[in-house]
């Protein structure tokens, strides 16, 4: 699979979910105090992301 989520701890000791595609980090979440909260963020992205609209602000 070319894309996946990684959960890592940041320097502050918080859990952060990273979305990685072809070994390149595309985006990451805010830091969470628990791993469960980071996993909830991933599930929210997976549930709500496919229908997200595109807001092109280049004009």
Domain, as residue range, for 20 = 1-32
51 or 14, which is more confident?
14
Residue 48 lies in a domain: no
Task: Kindly report, residue by residue over 30-41, the tens digit of the pLDDT.
Answer: 999 999 999 999
1: pLDDT strictly greater than 70: no
Paired tokens of 49: 């992301």
- The domain tally of the chain equals 1
CA distance 7 to 51: 24
Distance (Å) of CA 42 to CA 18, 30, 36: 9, 11, 10
Residue 11 lies in a domain: yes
Residue 47 lies in a domain: no
Residue 57 lies in a domain: no
Q: What is the mean pLDDT of the chain?
A: 94
Contact 33, 49 (CB under 8 A): no
Q: Model-level pTM greater than 0.75?
A: yes
- Average pLDDT over every residue of 33-54: 93
CA distance 19 to 45: 10
């Amino acid at each position: 699979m070319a894309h996946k989520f990684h959960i890592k701890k940041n320097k502050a000791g918080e859990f952060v979910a990273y979305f990685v595609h072809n070994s390149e980090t595309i985006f990451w979440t805010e830091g969470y105090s628990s791993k469960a909260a980071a996993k909830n963020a991933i599930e929210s992205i997976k549930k709500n992301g496919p229908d997200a609209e595109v807001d092109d602000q280049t004009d």
